[in-house]
């Protein structure tokens, strides 16, 4: 068995005194701390740069999504506009047909000599009011439709 003194003897010696060794250790610790600080700074800079890169990607993706959503909404609004225009045209044609039928009925009754002048005037006033209201309704519907 080897003694403890023999084991200590095998430890290589630097040739420094205790005070010099402590100073050397302190100097090395300061260098280690400085390197750790630089490492943290570089890592922080890298992480922040990476986050900026990821933020740019996220902004780009959000912009694409918003644009796609707007395009879909625009298409939907255009389809609704076309349906509304078609419905307005159909309604106007239907009301025009009703007016034609009413006109024919009124002319048939106007040929009836038993109708008095007052009744005829009331019927004419009613027809004029209907025509004006229909004309206003069609005009307002057309005015609400852009591009028409």
Please write the tens of the pLDDT for every residue from 38-63. 899 888 888 877 776 677 778 888 88
Alpha-helical regions (H) of 111-148: 117-144
| Residue whose structure tokens are 């430890």 | 11
Burial class (CB in 10 A: 0-12, 13-18, 19+), 138: middle
Q: How many domains, the chain?
A: 1
Q: Looking at the domain assignment, is residue 7 inside a domain?
A: no
Q: Is-contact 106 127, C-beta < 8 A?
A: yes
- 10 located within any domain: no
Q: Is 11 a residue whose pLDDT tops 60?
A: no
The answer to whether 36 touches 43, Cβ cutoff 8 Å, is: no
Residue 5 pLDDT > 60: no
Mean pLDDT of 97-103: 88
* Segment among 9-18, 33-42, 95-104, 124-133 with least mean pLDDT: 9-18
> Are the C-beta atoms of residues 85 and 146 closer than 8 Å to each other?
no
> Is 2 inside a domain boundary?
no
Q: How far apart are the first and last CA of the chain?
A: 110
114 in any annotated domain? yes
Residue 79 reports pLDDT greater than 90: yes
The pair of three-digit structure tokens given for residue 2, joined into one six-digit string: 């080897």
- CA 36 to chain CA centroid, nearest Å: 46
Indicate whether 60 belongs to any domain: yes
Instruction: Kindly state whether residue 30 falls inside one of the protein's structural domains.
Output: yes
Chain-centroid distance of CA 37 in Å reads 44
Asked if residue 112 belongs to a domain, the reply is: yes
Whether 6 is in a domain gets the answer no
| CA–CA gap between residue 73 and residue 45 (Å, rounded) | 42
- Residues spanned by the domain of 123: 17-144
């Amino acid at each position: 068995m080897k003694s403890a003194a023999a084991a200590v003897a095998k430890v290589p010696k630097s040739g420094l005194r205790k005070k010099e060794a402590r100073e050397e250790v302190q100097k090395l610790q300061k260098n280690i701390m400085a390197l750790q600080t630089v490492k943290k700074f570089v890592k922080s800079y890298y992480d922040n740069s990476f986050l900026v890169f990821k933020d740019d990607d996220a902004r780009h993706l959000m912009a694409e999504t918003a644009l796609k959503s707007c395009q879909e909404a625009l298409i939907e609004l255009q389809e609704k506009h076309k349906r509304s225009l078609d419905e307005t045209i159909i309604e106007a044609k239907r009301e025009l047909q009703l007016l034609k039928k009413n006109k024919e009925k009124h002319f048939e009754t106007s040929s009836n000599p038993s109708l008095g002048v007052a009744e005829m005037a009331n019927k004419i006033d009613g027809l004029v009011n209907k025509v004006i209201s229909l004309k206003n309704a069609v005009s307002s519907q057309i005015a609400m439709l852009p591009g028409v």
